[in-house]
A and B are shown apart, each in its own frame.
Chain A
């Protein structure tokens, strides 16, 4: 900042810093000019895109390719070159089932238990998440006292790491945790939340909803605020009852945002791993084992590390997620149009 009162300037034109920047930038001038001469003006776009494409390819496309190759090979070796090609054997063994409705009849019963749990978790969580987020958004959209405070409070859990969220709730729900403390204080009997399968799944869903609801509430709140206030005034003049305002005006106008939220919740629920894994470890037994946990354990945690089988399972999950993402993009584009 200048002491003489002249307007502040980041780098005065003749300052040392300015000359240094020019010198450094000048270093790139000549090579860039050569490249431009070589590839032409239009080609420069690809030159600038290249670094990102390189990194994206290295860390996304290459692993997908390796994973695909891995799923077609057997053995326990980590390096592809040392693994024998076995074709679709892993896929066949994953799909080998007496009845798809009974995981115990499948060769890879844990995979199908994971699929079944993930399906249950996804359905219940979607309904609970969207329902809670919608009600919260509707309440936070009203002119209530301390609205800003509550908006922040409901969003706060989104900022926490999933592991932190799970640990907090583990302390609350464990045998001698806060909740059981409160129950015994009120004269009740301790409940072993992580021992009873029903309770474990309930808390897995509850914690997940608690942790992520703020994000979806935010999307829905933005949608609600985009509905012009005079539509509600017109409805009031028209003598519309509150429930009819909700069903005939608010929900139809919020529908595009609701669909986006539904699909995002669906994708996230299918991917669920860390929170539930830290909270319940997939237990009791396999009561809260999710597909992603099965993949993780098959590849890295079991005594025999079956990379090929895990890769095949993750390819199947990946295909499903790809389809869901395409659905989400299609909906988003339709909304934009």
Chain B
């Protein structure tokens, strides 16, 4: 297993700049997830690390060794593709053994390694089948087996769960987490699903428009987002944002002056700012305790909790989570309270203002 250091990675396709100035250190044995919206460059970054794309600028070091100009095969990495990329004409056994045969390992060792991986991934009884005769989850496990068997320096996963249904995705996510715990390898995982990112990662790298927005543990990103993009991207439903000016008395006042809200305790700000609060940190309350009132437009009842979608007096959309089964009805005017410890503040450039 090995660590990875990316320095100043840039990648352009003709005039289109896909990656810009990417600096990142991945420690040995770490599970790092690249997350971001479609087109943010996360898959390209993974392919650059894999050696399937050449960098335009910057260097890639694996285990301290510069591999920037080395071919994919020479980097000693293994990749699990979104489409699984299993060879359809080969049996599961041959699929898993293929890379080992390329390495010209002795037949007995190949067999031993394949059987070990198959046992670990519960594939033993399918070794003679072709990929076409397997379910999506089984194919996914074969793809993982193909990577595991090579004992690579780093595992790369390119949205490996996106072709699975919701239930299987959760199950496979758990299997991946336990696989990482079991073999302890360095893993880099690309997804656009922030739940996958939050549940699997030791650290998450949030990418946007080819740049890294923030790197941190899942809870760091959730609790201390560096900017508006990360704040909006991490968390579901997304964080509420209320734009306004810092007015007299250190409160945020919306442009039309109809809503006035407290700022996070201890923050010092002036001018145009954006206040952020997650739906789970807004709660219905009595009129006396209320920071604001929302006109409810939609109620989603999920059983264990409910989401209220509405607007503040100035028309800003606001979502809140309530533990109650039936907290309000459409059209009601509900007084709400913001948890002051959970308020986030961002300046006009979108960067977080910390106390």
Alpha-carbon distance between A239 and B78 when the two chains are bound, in angstroms = 10
A248 cross-chain contacts in B, Cβ below 8 A = 87, 98
Closest residue on chain A to residue B152 by CB atoms: A237
Task: Label chain A's interface by main secondary structure.
Answer: helix
Closest residue on chain A to residue B81 by CB atoms: A230
Alpha-carbon distance between A238 and B74 when the two chains are bound, in angstroms = 10
Considering only residues 44-96 of chain B, those with a C-beta below 8 Å from chain A are 50-52, 71-74, 77-79, 81-83, 85-89
What 9 pairs between A and B have smallest CB-CB spacing? A239-B73, A238-B99, A234-B85, A230-B85, A252-B89, A236-B72, A239-B102, A237-B79, A230-B81
B→A interface (CB under 8 Å):
50-52, 71-74, 77-79, 81-83, 85-89, 98-99, 102-103, 146, 150
Minimum CB–CB distance for B239 against chain A, Å = 36
Our pick among B82, B87, B99 for the contact of A231 (Cβ within 8 Å) is B87
A234-B81 in contact given A239-B73, A253-B89 (Cβ < 8 Å) = yes
Minimum CB–CB distance for B326 against chain A, Å = 49
Q: Does A196 contact B (CB under 8 A)?
A: no
B71 cross-chain contacts in A, Cβ below 8 A = 236
Are A239 and B99 in touch, CB under 8 angstroms? yes
A233-B88 in contact given A239-B99, A239-B102, A244-B102 (Cβ < 8 Å) = no
A228 cross-chain contacts in B, Cβ below 8 A = 83, 85
Q: List 7 A-B contacts (CB under 8 A).
A: A231-B87, A234-B87, A238-B146, A239-B73, A239-B102, A248-B98, A253-B89
B85 cross-chain contacts in A, Cβ below 8 A = 228, 230-231, 233-234
Minimum CB–CB distance for B76 against chain A, Å = 9
Are B50 and A237 in touch, CB under 8 angstroms? yes
Chain A: residues with Cβ within 8 Å of the partner, total of 17
Q: Does A17 contact B (CB under 8 A)?
A: no
Are B102 and A241 in touch, CB under 8 angstroms? yes
Q: Does A23 contact B (CB under 8 A)?
A: no
Considering only residues 189-234 of chain A, those with a C-beta below 8 Å from chain B are 228, 230-231, 233-234
Closest residue on chain A to residue B75 by CB atoms: A237
Alpha-carbon distance between A241 and B89 when the two chains are bound, in angstroms = 18
Alpha-carbon distance between A252 and B89 when the two chains are bound, in angstroms = 7
Are B88 and A234 in touch, CB under 8 angstroms? no
Are A238 and B83 in touch, CB under 8 angstroms? no
Alpha-carbon distance between A240 and B150 when the two chains are bound, in angstroms = 13
For the complex with contacts A234-B85, A234-B86, A248-B98, 15 further pairs of A-B residues with Cβ separation under 8 Å are A228-B85, A231-B87, A233-B79, A233-B81, A234-B81, A236-B71, A236-B72, A238-B73, A238-B98, A239-B73, A239-B74, A240-B98, A240-B102, A252-B89, A253-B88
Interface membership of chain A positions 250-273, coded 1 if the CB is closer than 8 angstroms to chain B and 0 otherwise? 001100000000000000000000
Alpha-carbon distance between A228 and B84 when the two chains are bound, in angstroms = 11
Alpha-carbon distance between A93 and B342 when the two chains are bound, in angstroms = 103
Alpha-carbon distance between A13 and B83 when the two chains are bound, in angstroms = 52
A238 cross-chain contacts in B, Cβ below 8 A = 73, 98-99, 102, 146, 150
A244 cross-chain contacts in B, Cβ below 8 A = 102
Q: Does A249 contact B (CB under 8 A)?
A: yes
Closest residue on chain B to residue A234 by CB atoms: B85
B103 cross-chain contacts in A, Cβ below 8 A = 239
Alpha-carbon distance between A62 and B98 when the two chains are bound, in angstroms = 57
Are A236 and B73 in touch, CB under 8 angstroms? yes
A237-B87 in contact given A230-B81, A244-B102 (Cβ < 8 Å) = no
A236 cross-chain contacts in B, Cβ below 8 A = 51-52, 71-73
Alpha-carbon distance between A241 and B50 when the two chains are bound, in angstroms = 17
A→B interface (CB under 8 Å):
228, 230-231, 233-241, 244, 248-249, 252-253
Closest residue on chain B to residue A253 by CB atoms: B89
Alpha-carbon distance between A236 and B81 when the two chains are bound, in angstroms = 13
Alpha-carbon distance between A230 and B83 when the two chains are bound, in angstroms = 8
Alpha-carbon distance between A3 and B324 when the two chains are bound, in angstroms = 64
B89 cross-chain contacts in A, Cβ below 8 A = 252-253
Are B52 and A233 in touch, CB under 8 angstroms? yes
Alpha-carbon distance between A244 and B85 when the two chains are bound, in angstroms = 17
Closest residue on chain B to residue A238 by CB atoms: B99
Alpha-carbon distance between A83 and B98 when the two chains are bound, in angstroms = 69
B86 cross-chain contacts in A, Cβ below 8 A = 234
Minimum CB–CB distance for B92 against chain A, Å = 15
Closest residue on chain B to residue A227 by CB atoms: B88
Closest residue on chain B to residue A230 by CB atoms: B85
Minimum CB–CB distance for B259 against chain A, Å = 49
Are A237 and B72 in touch, CB under 8 angstroms? yes
Closest residue on chain B to residue A251 by CB atoms: B89
Alpha-carbon distance between A237 and B71 when the two chains are bound, in angstroms = 9
B72 cross-chain contacts in A, Cβ below 8 A = 233, 236-237
Alpha-carbon distance between A248 and B73 when the two chains are bound, in angstroms = 17
Chain A CB within 10 A, most for which of B50, B73, B150: B73
B87 cross-chain contacts in A, Cβ below 8 A = 231, 234, 248-249
Closest residue on chain B to residue A240 by CB atoms: B102
B81 cross-chain contacts in A, Cβ below 8 A = 230, 233-234
Closest residue on chain A to residue B73 by CB atoms: A239
Minimum CB–CB distance for B117 against chain A, Å = 14
Alpha-carbon distance between A239 and B77 when the two chains are bound, in angstroms = 10
Are A237 and B83 in touch, CB under 8 angstroms? no
Alpha-carbon distance between A248 and B78 when the two chains are bound, in angstroms = 20
Minimum CB–CB distance for B263 against chain A, Å = 50
Are A237 and B78 in touch, CB under 8 angstroms? yes
A252 cross-chain contacts in B, Cβ below 8 A = 89
Alpha-carbon distance between A248 and B102 when the two chains are bound, in angstroms = 11
Minimum CB–CB distance for A106 against chain B, Å = 46
Alpha-carbon distance between A90 and B81 when the two chains are bound, in angstroms = 66
B51 cross-chain contacts in A, Cβ below 8 A = 236
Minimum CB–CB distance for A244 against chain B, Å = 7
Minimum CB–CB distance for B198 against chain A, Å = 27
B83 cross-chain contacts in A, Cβ below 8 A = 228, 230
Are B102 and A237 in touch, CB under 8 angstroms? no
Are B102 and A234 in touch, CB under 8 angstroms? no
Minimum CB–CB distance for B82 against chain A, Å = 8
Minimum CB–CB distance for A26 against chain B, Å = 54
Our pick among A231, A237, A249 for the contact of B73 (Cβ within 8 Å) is A237
